[in-house]
Amino acid sequence: MYYGLIREDPVISPSKKPLKKDLKESKKKDANAPDPNRIPLPSVSESIQQERRTALKESQKKIKMTVETPPSVCLYTVLNAFGGVSSAQISENAAQVAIGFGNSMIQVYALGDDHLKVLKSPDKLQMVDTDLDEFSEEMYDENDKPKNIQLLGHQGPVYDLSFSCERRMIISASRDTTVRLWNIEMKRNLSIYRLSSPVWQAKFCNRGYYFATASAEQSVMLWCTERVQPLRIFGESNADVTCLDFHPNCNYIVGGSDDKLTRIWDVLSGSTVRTFGDDTNGAVKSVKFSPDGRYVVTVNEDGLISVWDLAGQKLLAVQECQGVTTNVPIAFSRDSSAFAVGTPYCGASFFSMDAITTTAGQHNPNETKFNPDGFALFSYPTKKTPIIDLQFHRKNVVIGIGAYDQ
């Protein structure tokens, strides 16, 4: 398995190094990275590349999360949600949030002082000169700058949402057995992807174009936005696959199932390259790859938080927490040195990866650590607001969203 990152993707290092040196090292060929042409990947736009370079630059200024330096957390709360909040997704730059409701409605909000961009009408777009250098700005309606938009189309609760890398589109998964592709700037549904059972999760890869779904069909499916039929079907699970995530290099998909196992599939061959877990643990409720691509964090219904090492094919650490019955959000810091887990029981907990990946002073580095010292850093309780999604901002501020008294 190639767990390294593709060369053109900037690597944010947990150590503070000079920016020029960090940029130079990020361009070196990683022996554990797949060939960029191993699978057909869409090109990354210049605007996204610039954003990632800026994120790399800002990473040099942030304060690393330690016992002495706790994170700052900003929590948005949804009140009086008709039908209840069934899903939420904060964009990668924390500028937008999409919320799915139990009454099948989707709302997209601009956070802070930002507003959503809306395209001009077709008649006005035809009058814009496409040769203008400012065409990318002239195509938007300056008189229509909403703070939020509403998307209607599903016939059941919206279970998951995912932004594309450019944040111009989102996909939504619903109990009505469909996945829908939406264009935020056009405020309309572009495509419908039909399955035969409820879809629990849907995730874009970090380059857009490809997305994956986990459903009650006991399988994970790989799709692209241009086709309404799946490109790959990964069907080895013996129960519902309720959670999934794309590897940062887009070559692999991890899925957690009610059969208590976590599997990693190769997008190119369709085969299973890693299987983690056993029958003694509960159903897997959440999974997440680390940004550096080497680790996978899982949460099962027994409340066990497990960290798996892809390189060593081993279980690094297990932390006992309160059991869960639904999917919970997992978010990594940009440098993979820490991660946060939200719970449906009103709170967010933070954990240090350095505490379990540093082998200095350990008698047996290959031994699994149970409730290791220094692993659990902080716990932020809320009164009556279960946290639905978490996102580390580029300056290490943690943004969360929850639904009050739900």
Structural domain spans, the chain: 74-403
pLDDT of res. 13? 54
Confidence of residue 48 (pLDDT cuts 50, 70, 90): confident
- Looking at per-residue pLDDT, the higher value among 16 and 34 belongs to 34
Q: Are 9 and 334 in contact (CB under 8 A)?
A: no
Phi–psi pair at 184, nearest 5 degrees: -70, -40
Per-residue pLDDT tens digits for 139-174: 888 888 899 999 999 999 999 999 999 999 999 999
Mean pLDDT of the chain: 88
Per-residue pLDDT tens digits for 365-406: 678 889 999 999 999 999 889 999 999 987 778 999 999 988
Average of per-residue pLDDT across 247-257: 95
Distance CA 334, CA 97 (A): 19
Three-state DSSP at 14 gives coil
Does domain 74-403 bear CATH number 2.60.40.2470? no
Distance CA 324, CA 282 (A): 10
- Looking at per-residue pLDDT, the higher value among 278 and 36 belongs to 36
Per-residue pLDDT tens digits for 188-237: 999 999 999 999 999 999 999 999 999 999 999 999 999 999 999 998 89
Confidence of residue 113 (pLDDT cuts 50, 70, 90): confident
Terminal Cα-to-Cα distance of the chain (whole angstroms)? 41
DSSP 251-298: SEEEEEETTS-EEEEETTT--EEEEE--TTS--EEEEEE-TTSSEEEE
Q: Above pLDDT 90, what percent of the chain?
A: 60
pLDDT of res. 328? 93
Per-residue pLDDT tens digits for 263-275: 999 999 999 999 9
